[in-house]
A = this chain, B = another copy of it.
Amino acid sequence: MPDIHQGSANYLDEAELAALDAHWRAANYLAVGQIYLMANPLLREPLKPEHIKPRLLGHWGTSPGLNLVYTHLNRVARDHGKDTICVWGPGHGGPAVLANSWLEGTYSETYPDVSRDAEGMARLFRQFSFPGGVPSHVAPETPGSIHEGGELGYSLSHAYGAALDNPGLLVACVIGDGEAETGPLAASWHSNKFLDPVHDGAVLPILHLNGYKIANPTVLARLPRDELDDFLRGLGHDPLHVEGDDALQVHSAMARAMDTALDRISAIQHGAREQGVTERKRWPIILLRTPKGWTGPAEVDGVQVEGTWRAHQVPLSSVRENPDHLRQLEEWLHSYRPAELFDDRGRPRERVLECVPAGPRRLGASVHANGGLLVQDLPIPPLERYAVPVDKPGTTLHEPTRVLGDLLEGVMENTAERRDFRLVGPDETASNRLQAVYGATGKAWQARTLEVDEHLDRHGRVMEILSEHTCQGWLEGYLLTGRHGLFSCYEAFVHIVDSMVNQHIKWLRTSRRLPWRRPIASLNYLLTSHVWRQDSNGFSHQDPGFIDHVLNKSPEVVRVYLPPDANTLLSVADHVLRSRDYVNVVVAGKQPCFDWLTLEQARGHCARGAGIWDWAGAENESGEPDVVLGCAGDVPTLEILAAAQLLRRHLPHLAVRVVNVVDLARLLPKEEHPHGMPDAEFDALFTSDKPVIFAYHGYPWLIHRLAYRRTGHANLHVRGYKEEGTTTTPFDMVVRNDLDRYRLVMDVIDRVPGLAVRAATVRQEMADVRLRHHAWIREHGTDLPEVSEWNWNS
């Protein structure tokens, strides 16, 4: 391949090129060593089968490219004096990033037993992809990393998230040409329309065209040059090409491209910060085209490997068994001339480390990649300022998320200088009724504006793009670098990021087990526009299953809250925004909802996570109810309370207890989740022998899955969403899913033994109202007046 970066061969002097090359060769040597060797790391004796790992695992193909980028980022971090981190999209290439971290010393500082000498090198090699060792990808265990490279697609949105509100930071981001085919990556290119050159740092994408995925060429690598350039220019970038397979020429071209990119970034930032330039500029991007598996075996067993997909993982697969492979591996390792790179004690020679910057400028040492070291407590204003007054429960109505919006405005105000809080959402902030935040900040926007626009703000901290993936990626990057945030989303469509939240939960679970990783702010979801209130959108917008999805994951990380009114939402929000290292899912409505609890009551209730609502029940002197009405979620709580009122009216001698659950994990046994209730507490709330009719926000079987070990589980009857949805009224939705007050009263009558004869009549009356509902709604298109005009005191 020709080097097409004109004149680049002369860009640096020979000594500097040689030093960069030495660093790169050392990193390549260490990457190969990790994949293959469990002994003889410096090749001080001829390579023998017993030096080779029994299971050969790892991804060589991308490693030389990552080593090249790391080497050159070292140089610019050293020369440009900029705080730099890198997001390694092709994170399968764990050996490369580990190699560089070991070379620069941060690995040994983090893990002193893997010292920067022969003994440490042996450990570095052995531990890689070895049981009890380190994972094969860039992972939480890797110093300097904020990005697990296993699931592809999120590198660029993570990079932008890290750059937001970090004006001094450069976030390099290597994007594999495989990853570039994914949807989340493709969407995240447009992040540059949201990056504020004044308050945010810079992102330098490096698109690595190594040409192949596991078994196929990549789409971008097979486009004609002009088509690819059009594409990147169309994405608002200014492409800089680096291409070739001659190492020194590529070093020279890469150094020039990096310097050019950094100079352009500085110019953009200077213009915006010092000269008041507001026009959106094209940010540089580096296109790096080098062979897959570069410097590895050109051919193995008679077929081409270097420069093809066959170099993706382990190019020589039978080294223990096949003497030819063993010989080829030995030659391959020697081709890096290890004696030039490491001294007698296995330490990197001075020249190898020439390009490495000092101390905290090293990529693996950046405090930004260990955000817990930077995170400050969020200045949340006193909730009293926002609480709604509640004289009598169930009389006044508020939109809970609107009340939360007021609180968030307060948080935005208090962080106006610090700039460490962001609200993200897929074009739904106002739809989700959080628009009060615009009193304190606007919506980030760098593209063209028109007079009719509202709240667009070059410096805004509300982030809206119609991509749940990009929102999630931004927020993850922002949190991992030590800041705070909230993601508000339609409940049904948060499933779009199911797989991303999996990975973030995995990251947190692993990080919590690493003492050197400090706790970061939790990832907080506000799920609203929920399943029960999709009046205008219908079936496609109805799905409460994200709760189930999240509760499958590591219990030390996941929490789910279902506040039933405005004040409980405030209390829950306050709690989750202060928390660390969790994924908190908060489900709350945006539609007018009865206020049940005062702020003080709400705080107590939320602290307990589940409790008896005395005022709502009708217990007798014995203190033992005949039936327990359980509820979790705003709409189920409304229906349960309406059912309780009907029971009080129609069956006044029935002892009814109402239990509301805010913190869903409380239903789990305490052995299964840190929030789980002991059995005694569960029985004290729900009894061990009385019927429990439980109205739940989501899929009813989730409650069984949480509570199946409880003594009284056989008495538990759960109503919830069972995929009966369409465009209809709110009350018709609950009727269709048998969650309505009348059905709940019938459930009680069906399950409480020994009721008065009158109960049969009441049951029939309830069934009659449901029939009346069906007739009424078809004629009028609205709910029965007795439902739409209901309140707790009626």
Contacts and interface: CB of A to CB of B under 8 A. Distances in A.
Contacts of A781: 38, 53-55, 130-131
B214 A427 contact: yes
A764 interface: no
Interface in A456-513: 456, 464-470, 492-493, 495-496, 498-499, 502-503, 506, 509-510
A232 B231 CA distance: 7
A236 interface: yes
Contact of A183 (B186, B430, B449): B186
Given A214-B428, A502-B543, A543-B502, A492 B151 contact: yes
A187 B178 contact: no
Contact of A54 (B188, B468, B782): B782
Given A234-B228, A304-B452, A553-B723, A536 B705 contact: no
B539 A135 contact: yes
Copy number of this protein in the oligomer?
2
B469 A183 contact: yes
Contact of A427 (B190, B213, B726): B213
Contacts of A535: 55, 57
A552 to B, nearest CB: 5
Interface in A175-196: 178-179, 181-190, 193
A215 B438 CA distance: 13
B187 A538 contact: no
A652 B549 CA distance: 42
A548 B540 contact: no
Contacts of A269: none
Interface string A432-447: 0000000000010101
Interface stretch (A77-85, A166-174, A217-225, A571-579): A217-225
A136 interface: yes
Contacts of A552: 545, 548, 699, 701
A31 to B, nearest CB: 15
A205 B554 CA distance: 43
Contact of A536 (B231, B313, B495, B496): B313
B537 A150 contact: yes
A573 to B, nearest CB: 22
B136 A536 contact: yes
A448 B222 contact: yes
A18 to B, nearest CB: 32
A58 interface: yes
A216 interface: yes
A541 interface: yes
A294 to B, nearest CB: 15
A727 interface: yes
Interface residues on A, range: 35 or more
Which of A228, A702, A705 is the most central at the interface, judged by chain B CB atoms within 10 Å of its CB?
A705
A28 to B, nearest CB: 20
A233 interface: yes
Contacts of A55: 535, 729, 781-782
Nearest to A59: B536
A430 B216 CA distance: 10
A57 B533 CA distance: 13
Contacts of A726: 135
B181 A183 contact: no
A708 interface: yes
Interface string A372-395: 000000000000000000000000
A397 to B, nearest CB: 18
Which of A152, A186, A227, A428 is the most central at the interface, judged by chain B CB atoms within 10 Å of its CB?
A186
B509 A541 contact: no
A5 to B, nearest CB: 21
Contacts of A778: 131-132
Nearest to A151: B540
Interface in A197-253: 213-219, 222-224, 227-236
A540 B506 contact: yes
Contacts of A186: 183, 186-187, 189, 467
A610 to B, nearest CB: 20
B447 A219 contact: yes
A528 interface: no
Contacts of A549: 498, 545, 548-549
B222 A229 contact: no
A308 interface: yes
B216 A443 contact: yes
Interface string A140-157: 000000001011110000
Interface string A282-317: 000000000000000000000010011000010000
Nearest to A140: B539
A33 to B, nearest CB: 15
A728 interface: yes
Contact of A447 (B38, B215, B223, B452): B223
A626 to B, nearest CB: 24
A401 to B, nearest CB: 15
A182 B235 CA distance: 15
Given A55-B781, A129-B536, A430-B215, A496 B495 contact: no
A168 B412 CA distance: 57
Contacts of A148: 540
A238 to B, nearest CB: 12
A250 B184 CA distance: 35
Nearest to A470: B183
A262 to B, nearest CB: 24
Given A453-B217, A545-B552, A705-B704, A467 B183 contact: yes
Contact of A137 (B224, B468, B537): B537
A181 B463 CA distance: 14
A285 to B, nearest CB: 13
B135 A538 contact: yes
A445 B219 CA distance: 9
A450 interface: yes
Contacts of A450: 217
Contacts of A183: 153, 182-188, 467, 469-470
B150 A538 contact: yes
A635 B74 CA distance: 45
A171 to B, nearest CB: 20
Contacts of A190: 181, 219
A427 B216 contact: yes
21 contacts: A129-B538, A131-B729, A131-B777, A135-B539, A135-B727, A136-B536, A148-B540, A182-B468, A186-B189, A193-B219, A215-B428, A217-B445, A217-B447, A223-B447, A227-B233, A227-B236, A231-B235, A234-B235, A313-B536, A495-B502, A506-B540
Given A132-B777, A230-B231, 11 more contacts: A133-B727, A136-B537, A153-B183, A183-B183, A183-B467, A185-B187, A215-B430, A217-B449, A224-B448, A313-B536, A704-B704
